[in-house]
Amino acid sequence: MNRRDAADLAGSAGVGAWTAFAVLTMIVVGGAGAPLWLDGTFLSRSVAHRSDELVALARGVTATGSGVVPYALVTLAGALAGRTARQRLGAAALALSCLATGQVLRYATMTRVHRPRPPRSDWATHASGWAFPSGHTTTAALTAGILIVALALRAPRGGRALQIAVACWGLSVGLTRVYLGVHWFTDVIGGWLFATAWLGTCLWAAARWLPGAFLTTVTPRPAPQPTGHGP
């Protein structure tokens, strides 16, 4: 894929996700933060189907959606994306900036919307702050997206399986937030949309302005053919 096609694809994805996120945000604000659509159903079913083992597993998965783990993973993504030591450092810095700036923007949005969380009596883990969009969900989805892009650029054989595994992790973090009762399902949808929108914006900018070496895979040069001069 050339630079222009990459920029167009990322830009289109970003615009679509921003539009969907804006619509969902207006619905949440218009409803004064009350549960929407199937929010109540998802929460009640999650509470009804909890077990000690599943709650412990969900807590373990949800813990990977914040703190040091996402930053370590996007640093790894930067190391994968670059070819030389200098490129790896630059790519890691860009990936970290994308994640950190996305978290700041998400926090500003959350504070502005100030949607209440589900009832505290339904919580199965600690949580703080407002609900929309979900912070763990946004962070994990952003991290997963950055890793998937890095794998697509530089993955060895088996990269597709790794991409699927990373995507499943990013999605599962969001789902655990509902299962543990600390977010409505539409908070999680909002987190996925916000992450997609911000990642699309960052990739659009990268495709337009980064050196082309970051956007193409290494193509080995063909071995020189023998001239075959006869006697």
Using CA atoms, how far residue 97 sits from 101, 104, 231, in Å, is: 6, 10, 64
How many domains, in total, are found in the chain?
Answer: 1
Please report which confidence band the pLDDT of residue 154 belongs to, taking 50, 70 and 90 as the band edges.
confident
pLDDT at residue 178 greater than cutoff 90:
yes
Establish if 214 belongs to a structural domain: no
Contact indicator for 131, 183 with CB cutoff of 8 Å: yes
Q: Does the pLDDT at position 217 exceed 50?
A: no
In a domain, 221, yes or no: no
Confirm whether 38 is domain-assigned: yes
Q: Who wins on pLDDT, 229 or 12?
A: 12
The answer to whether residue 178 is domain-embedded is yes
CB 132 within 8 A of CB 190: yes
- What CATH number corresponds to the domain at position 59? 1.20.144
Would the pLDDT of 222 be above 70? no
pTM score of the predicted model:
0.88
- Three-class SS string for 1-63? CCHHHHHHHHHHHHHHHHHHHHHHHHHHHHCCCCCCCCHHHHHHHHHHCCCHHHHHHHHHHHH
Could you tell me if residue 227 is inside a domain? no
Which pLDDT value is given to residue 230? 47
pLDDT band at 213, cuts 50/70/90?
low
- Residue 143 in domain: yes
Give me 136's structure tokens: 């763990």
Which residue range is the domain that position 136 belongs to? 3-209
User: Is 222 within a domain?
Assistant: no
Q: CA triplet 82, 80, 141: central angle to 5 degrees?
A: 120
Q: Is residue 172 part of a domain?
A: yes
- How high is the mean pLDDT of the chain? 88
